[in-house]
Each structure stands twice: as C-alpha cells, then as structure tokens.
Structure 1
Amino acid sequence: MSLDIRSLFIGYLAQLEVIVAKVPVDIFSLSLSDDMFSLEMNAKVAANFLLRGYCPLVAIELVSFYSEVSGKGAVLEQITKTKAYLEQTVVIENLDDSKTLIDKAGFTEVALSPSEFIHKYIIPNFSFHMSMVYAIARVHGVVLSKGDYDGLHSYPTDFSFVRT
C-alpha cells in the first residue's frame, strides 16, 4: 500500500486552517499555562513541522514560511504558503527505508528511517501542536468540533457527549 504523504500533509494543513480561521484575534497570544507556547506559536510550529518532514523525504532544501510577524493574518499566511509549496513538490510513491533522516527533537538528535521519521516524529509532533491550538481555543470559548480537527466528524450544533 502506498500513501500519498504530500496530500496527507496538505489535508492536515487544511484542518489547521479551519481551526485558526475560527479563532478570534485576541486569543492568539494565550496559552494553556505560562510555560507553554501560545496558540499562535503552536500553529506556526505545526505548519512548519510538516515541511521539516517533507523536505528531507524528497531531498530538497528545508524551507520555512515562519514569520516573526504576529497575529492571525501571519498564521493564516504561513499555512497558505506552506500548502502552496507542498502542492508544487513531488509526490512520494514509496519511502526508501534504507536511508536515515536526522533531526533534532528538543535536545536529542534523532536518526530514523523515512517511515519512522514520518510516523514516529513528524506526524506526532504536528498533531501535538495542532492539538494545543485546538485546546487553547476551546478553553477560551471558541466553538470547535472534532470535525474541525479531522474534517470527517459531524455533530449537531447542540450535541454533547457530556450531560450538563
């Protein structure tokens, strides 16, 4: 089975964009705790992580559309540019696991096969930062659903698993 990682990453970015678009501008500087990244930084890191994963897979120089400019517009611009860039790159048909990809995970250097690199490092890190965006938005009252996160789930507006 082959997996179109490029399309997968573009889809992830589309859902990140859905969430970010719903977040009021005054929430971008907020975080879950004082020692954690803000919603804005989590969104920027999430978008950038997909390039950190894809560029080495296709053996192209790592690019980033991260900007020091703050705000909702800057985040949406980074996501848009990242999606556009990925759309113009080559599609990977198969991963060559005889190679080793190297990156830094915090203060640790990781050396992984392309399959491990994507599935154990890039996707979990993207998901972590996107989850932080979702969590920060929700804790500050932004109405979001699981469908905003994955693009698949659908629930009525007044639906809740939790009875109040």
Structure 2
Amino acid sequence: MAAPALYQASVPVFLHYLEQARGLVSACRGRPELLEGKLAPDMFSAAQQFATAAGFSLRGTFPLIGEPVPEFPSAAMDREGILTRIDFAHERLVTMDPAAFEGAEARRIRHLAGFADLDQRGADYLNLFAIPNFMFHLSIGFAVLRQGGMDIGKADFDGLHDYPPGFRF
C-alpha cells in the first residue's frame, strides 16, 4: 500500500533538502563568516536561516500526525551546531511511520505564524505554511552563502540540476 499523500509530500521532501542544507553548511568549513552573514541587517544570519529550516521540517510534519514537535538540542549557531540540528531533524524524520499520516489532510492544526494565530486543515498547513516556510529559510540561507562568495549554484541547492563548471544565471 502506498504511503499517505501528506507523508509523501512532506517527509521525503524535507529529507532531500535537509541533505542539501547539510552539504551547504558543511562546505563552510574554515569560513565561519559565511554563516554569520545576512542579506539585510534586520534578517537572520545564514546559520539561523538553516537552523530555522531544520526546525520547519519537524514543525511541518509532527502536527500532521498529532504529535508535539520535538525540542531541538541546545547547540551553538556555528557550523557544528547547525549540522547537529540538521542531523537531529533527519533522525526524527526517518523514524516517522507513514501510517501515522492517515487522515492528516483533514486534521485541524492550530499554530502561530509570526503573531498570527492560525487554524488550518492539515493539507493547507503543509502546502501553504510549512513547506513554503522551510523553502524560504533554506533559500535565504543559500542566498547569504552565495552573496558571501561561496561558489554554489542551483545544483547545490536542489541536488538535481547539472551545469557545466562556471555556468551561472
């Protein structure tokens, strides 16, 4: 039997992109200033963007199965701390039972979006809130690293594209 739709639309997606985030953060070895960078003074640093993305992978799945979101271990906002958070999220996601997602589309999820108090059906929660927020923070983290001079491109972000060396658009 196939896994429920919201399992398929969440856990494999989050796992794939957490692995991409792991590669990006790992590549910052010896360049801590990259993770400290920001796109604008009032935005999160790249480190906080990646940490928040990791958080959204769990925040986006556990409510769908009616479980509390696991609390992340305390870790510094440096390369090793971000990798610890990514690994923690990965470990929790790979142990999720696809069957627990049965009926998740209709499950009501009350949560905060900034200062907004929302009540959404599971499908809307995942598709309109959790995945877009995960991708937002992952994308901003990527953009900060790129702006900081890291030689990365679309293939590093999604792990799917292939371009000749030096190709950028």
Q: Which residue of 1 aligns with 2:164?
A: 156
Paired with 2:75 and 2:117, the residues of 1 have a C-alpha distance of 26
Q: From the superposition, tell whether residues 123 and 61 of structure 1 become closer, same or farther in structure 2 (CA, over 3 Å).
A: same
Q: Could you give the per-residue CA deviations for residues 23-80 of structure 1, whole angstroms, max 9, x where no partner exists? A: 2322211111111111111111110011111111112221132535231000011101
Structure 2 residue 128 is matched with structure 1 residue 120: yes
Paired with 2:17 and 2:27, the residues of 1 have a C-alpha distance of 16
Q: Which residue of 2 aligns with 1:37?
A: 44
Which stretch shows the higher mean deviation, 132-141 or 55-64? 55-64
Structure 2 residue 15 is matched with structure 1 residue 10: yes
CA contact (8 A) 2:110 2:119 kept: yes
Q: Could you give the per-residue CA deviations for residues 88-111 of structure 1, whole angstroms, max 9, x where no partner exists? A: 111255543332111111100111
Residue-pair matches, total: 161
Paired with 2:168 and 2:146, the residues of 1 have a C-alpha distance of 14
Paired with 1:33 and 1:14, the residues of 2 have a C-alpha distance of 26
CA contact (8 A) 1:48 1:66 kept: no
1:84 corresponds, among 76, 81, 91, to 91
What are the equivalent positions in structure 2 for 1:91-106 lying under 5 Å apart?
91-92=98-99, 94-106=102-114
Q: From the superposition, tell whether residues 77 and 115 of structure 1 become closer, same or farther in structure 2 (CA, over 3 Å).
A: same
Counterpart secondary structure, 1:101: strand
CA contact (8 A) 2:11 2:93 kept: yes
CA contact (8 A) 1:31 1:39 kept: yes
TM-score (norm 1): 0.90
CA contact (8 A) 2:32 2:78 kept: yes
Q: From the superposition, tell whether residues 69 and 160 of structure 1 become closer, same or farther in structure 2 (CA, over 3 Å).
A: closer
CA contact (8 A) 2:112 2:118 kept: yes
The percentage of aligned residue pairs carrying the same residue is 29
Structure 2 residue 68 is matched with structure 1 residue 61: yes
Q: Could you give the per-residue CA deviations for residues 94-142 of structure 1, whole angstroms, max 9, x where no partner exists? A: 5433321111111001111111100100010011100111110011100
Q: Which runs of 5+ in 2 are unaligned?
A: none
Paired with 1:75 and 1:21, the residues of 2 have a C-alpha distance of 9
Q: Which residue of 1 aligns with 2:150?
A: 142
Counterpart secondary structure, 1:111: strand
State the AA in 2 paired with 1:11. Answer: H
Q: Which runs of 5+ in 1 are unaligned?
A: none
Paired with 2:168 and 2:43, the residues of 1 have a C-alpha distance of 29
Q: From the superposition, tell whether residues 86 and 96 of structure 1 become closer, same or farther in structure 2 (CA, over 3 Å).
A: closer
CA contact (8 A) 1:9 1:50 kept: yes
- Quote the RMSD (CA, aligned, Å): 1.7
TM-score (norm 2): 0.88
